[in-house]
Amino acid sequence: MHILIVGGTGFIGSQLCQHFSQLKYRLSILTRDLSKHINAAQSFTLISKLQKTDHPYDIIINLAGEPLNKHRWSEQVKKNIYESRIQSTQKIIDYIKTAHVKPKLLINGSAIGFYGSDANQIFTEDSKPADNGFTHRLCHDWETVAMQAESFGVRVCCIRTGIVLDAQGGALKEMLLPFKLGLGAQFGNGKQWMSWIHMIDVIQAIDFLINHSDLSGAFNLVSPFPVTNAQFTHALARTLHRPCFLRFPNIMVQAIFGEMGETLLLSGQHVIPDRLLQAGYQFKYSKVENALQHILRKKD
């Protein structure tokens, strides 16, 4: 099996590369930086652009895009975030259109930001968005472009990923140092939902979608048991045997991070992985305490 990973040097992509390497799949990684190194168990091919190949791709996994939390959101930053996803995905569709041998499957990145924010609503894949903010428009348009692949006979799965927990990157890595120093804090009133998922379940859920050819459409990649920000911060503090009594008030988050902080830190979504559960996927880490204990024990 030949898999192309677009964004294979990123947070999730690099872990996928290691996973598929262990399975002895042929791997190609599309990246803008051919000097990047990935710690994989076997060799892979780095490419800088999509072009005809003597070894057609069976599966394309698209995770490319500028990080949402890298910079405070100005209009230009939001434009860069949007275009980095839409344009890279459109290039994949253009490639599929002209490819003599089409891939069997396109797994395309998305996020639970698709649903907007509503503290009182439980979202499944069938839910309508709560608002029409930046993250909803971004994810909606991203998925719309990806779904064009269906017109060429390609199965498409859009993975709406929540907060991915892993010590090697993402939100948890940023939180570890202050929490270890006893400076852990909740954001705002702590009531906003955090729909999270362990990195292991991200990888295994993607593997599950690959191996179930009857599955297509949108899938929420989140644990069945989301927690509030207060519950998460106290669970992390307990796991590290540290106190957690500080709080960043809304006004401070808004002053420092602006719209990005309001969206990513003070708002949230209560999201359930309904379609994965119905399909029979069994989460390895469904409770946040167990997930944190595994991740931090592994790190130590």
CATH code of the domain covering residue 76: 3.40.50.720
Q: What is the CA radius of gyration of the chain?
A: 19
- pTM greater than 0.85: yes
Give domain status of residue 131, yes or no. yes
Give domain status of residue 121, yes or no. yes
Q: Which of 75, 132, 139, 78 is nearest to 113 (CA)?
A: 139
pLDDT digits (tens, 9 = 90+) for 10-53: 899 999 999 998 998 999 999 876 565 555 445 678 888 887 78
Is 267 in contact with 137 (CB distance < 8 Å)?
no
Give domain status of residue 97, yes or no. yes
The three-state DSSP-derived secondary structure of 117-133 is CCCCCEECCCCCCCCCC
Which residue do the tokens 């409770």 mark? Answer: 287
pLDDT at 119: 83
Q: Which of 224, 188, 222 is nearest to 205 (CA)?
A: 222
Residue 219 pairs with which residues in a beta bridge? Answer: 159
Total domain count, the chain = 1
> Domain containing 57: what range?
2-292
Q: Which residues of the chain have pLDDT under 50?
A: 40-41, 300
The one-letter code for the residue type at 144 is T
Give domain status of residue 38, yes or no. yes
Contacts of 299 (CB under 8 A, 6+ apart): 167
pLDDT digits (tens, 9 = 90+) for 173-184: 999 999 999 999
The one-letter code for the residue type at 47 is I
Give domain status of residue 65, yes or no. yes
Give domain status of residue 300, yes or no. no
Retrieve residue 49's tokens: 């652009």
Give domain status of residue 24, yes or no. yes
pLDDT at 38: 55
Instruction: Say how far apart CA 106 and CA 62 lie, in whole Å.
Output: 8
Q: Which of 118, 108, 250 is nearest to 195 (CA)?
A: 118
Burial of 291 (0-12, 13-18, 19+ CB in 10 A): buried
At residue 236, what are phi and psi to the nearest 5 degrees? Answer: -65, -45
pLDDT at 53: 80
- Cβ atoms within 10 A of the Cβ of 75, count? 7
Give domain status of residue 59, yes or no. yes
